[in-house]
Structure 1
């Protein structure tokens, strides 16, 4: 079953339950799917495209959340947190730091990187291999840490 059908069903359920926060997040996901489907030259969305879309929405919410917290806008931060929680339900399980560190160590060995100058090579391989499993910011930080040792 496609993400769009899942979202449509969840929207109906949220409407019946009068779950305002959930409904807001689900409608944002649906809007993003519709924009992606109607974009010029776009065809049917693949599962990979749907995951990228969800990750983009998640990153937007995290960035907004950080900004709102810096500006002491807890009312807006709370809304972003609620939406982020709903979006996270549709994302694949993220790798924990230990598993990510192990995977990156293997990638570094496979690429043959030995210094921070090789970070580009490692990041290229890591982002392909770990797409959807870990956040790019976390991958970058760990690669930098592992290469400077």
Structure 2
């Protein structure tokens, strides 16, 4: 079952159980996916849908930081509950050790030896860790290993 089908099924379940937060979040995710499908005039596959959900989670984390800094805890809590719903549809996150192992393996496969090869390593790693690890943290890890 595709991720989009799972979202639609979960939306129906949320309607039945009258879970407004879950329902609103799933509808928002489906709307974001649909918008991209309309803009690009092609259907998204699971990897592309995961990328959309990952971006939504990242946006909510940024919002939480801003709301907390402004003392708007009720808005930060609402964003946190949306993150919890979105994360149920994302793949299980990789541990720090798994990420380090993937980085080491990819550096060896590509034969990267300097900072000039960082883009190649990031390009090779992105499909492997999409939605499962923070690319900024991976970038820092690669930079530390290639210096």
Q: For this pair of structures, how many residues does the alignment match?
A: 147
- 1:106–1:4 Cα change, 3 Å: closer
Contact 2:4/2:46, CA 8 A, preserved across alignment: no
Match of 2:67 in 1: 68
Normalised to the residue count of structure 1, the TM-score between the two structures is 0.85
What does 1:11-90 align with in structure 2 at a 5 Å threshold? Answer: 11-39=11-39, 41-90=40-89
Q: For each residue in 1:29-64, what CA deviation from the matched residue of structure 2 results, as whole angstroms up to 9, or x when unmatched?
A: 12112212222x422221222111111212111221
Please report how far the alpha carbon of residue 65 of structure 1 lies from its aligned counterpart in structure 2 after TM superposition.
1.6
CA offsets 1:124-149 (integer angstroms, 9 cap, x no match): 2222443333221121122123234x
Closer, same or farther: CA 117–75 of 1 in aligned 2, 3 Å:
same
8 Å contact kept, 2:50–2:131: yes
Q: Which runs of 5+ in 1 are unaligned?
A: none
CA offset at residue 100 of structure 1?
0.3
1:82-121 alignment to 2 at 5 Å?
82-121=81-120
Aligned alpha-carbon RMSD (Å)? 1.9
Residues 141 and 46 of structure 1, relative CA distance in 2, 3 Å threshold: same
- CA 1:6/1:129 → structure 2, altered by over 3 Å: closer, same or farther? closer
Unpaired runs of 5+ residues, structure 2, are none
Equivalent position of 2:129 in the other structure: 130
Distance in structure 2 (CA, Å) of the matches to 1:128 and 1:3: 17
**2-side partners of 1:142 and 1:85: how far apart?**
27
